[in-house]
Amino acid sequence: MPTDSSDATPRGMVSVCMATYNGAAFVTEQIASILPQLAAGDELVIVDDASRDDTVEVISRLDDPRIRLVARDENRGYVRTFEQALGLARGEYLFLCDQDDVWIPGRVDIMVEALGEHQVIASNLATLGGPDRIPGPFWITDWRVSSRDSDHSVRNLVQLLAGLQCYWGCAMAVRRDALDYLLPFPRFLDETHDQWIGLCGNMAHSMGHVDARTVWRRIHDSNLTPTQPRGLIPALRSRLMLLRCLAVAWQRGLHVGNPRKHG
């Protein structure tokens, strides 16, 4: 049964938006790391993308009224799954969440505080059971965002389009007012929804970076996000898609050099 948002703490209601697909092996541990950080009136919105394993059954056995599970009959891919989860969320603060990671204690408080100043927030990752540093392209040994770059919209956009800016969806959160320009996702977007969110946040001049590592990322054979840099053709395809996203964001009124009003 959905929880009444009137039970939320004074900080405002938090909605965690999770996409699942064949995630039975790890989803229970992920949820167990999330629920202790939520208030009684918060929610965990889970949209399952027609899993072929028993993911839905595993989640359904969890007895917590804050969990809202939507099981789709048709597989549409993780981008549309996250889009639906964000659209169903009722909170003031919306967290994106993968099915197989583990949240570091204190994540919700850190991100909600940062969302007081920005509509879109990106934090950093550590490796579950491994080193904190996560390697990136071009021999980057620790691919992470820095709070020094918050609000440096033009620089962040250039680095994003060049493939040098790291926005991990599972380490991001947005305020509800950001949904005005984030949703719906562009119809052609079939990957890197996190880059779309980061692009819009920067174009809205309301992109904040958090130095803290707030998620332990689980590395396994089924990760949707590659652990190694992609080849030339996939990288070029991704850059072209981001340029198309840039055009859509512009059409929605997000113009570099023309800051959007945000409270």
Structural domain range at position 78: 5-251
**Rounded-to-integer distance, Cα 182 and Cα 200, Å:** 7
Is the residue at 259 inside a domain? no
Beta strand pairing call for 102-103 and 207-217: antiparallel
Is the residue at 256 inside a domain? no
Looking at the predicted structure, is the pLDDT value of residue 231 above 90?
no
Looking at the predicted structure, is the pLDDT value of residue 2 above 90?
no
CA 168, chain centre distance (Å)? 7
**Rounded-to-integer distance, Cα 98 and Cα 82, Å:** 9
DSSP assignment of 134-165, as one string? ---STT-SS----GGGTT-HHHHHHHHHTT--
CATH code of 226's domain: 3.90.550.10
Partnered with residue 45 across adjacent β-strands are 17, 68
Is the residue at 261 inside a domain? no
Among candidate residues 124, 262, 136, the one with its CA nearest the CA of residue 201: 262
Is the residue at 216 inside a domain? yes
- How many domains is the chain built from? 1
Is the residue at 258 inside a domain? no
The pLDDT tens digits of the residues spanning 172-212 come to 999 999 999 999 999 999 999 999 999 999 999 999 999 99
Q: Which two tokens stand for residue 193?
A: 């929804």
Is the residue at 260 inside a domain? no
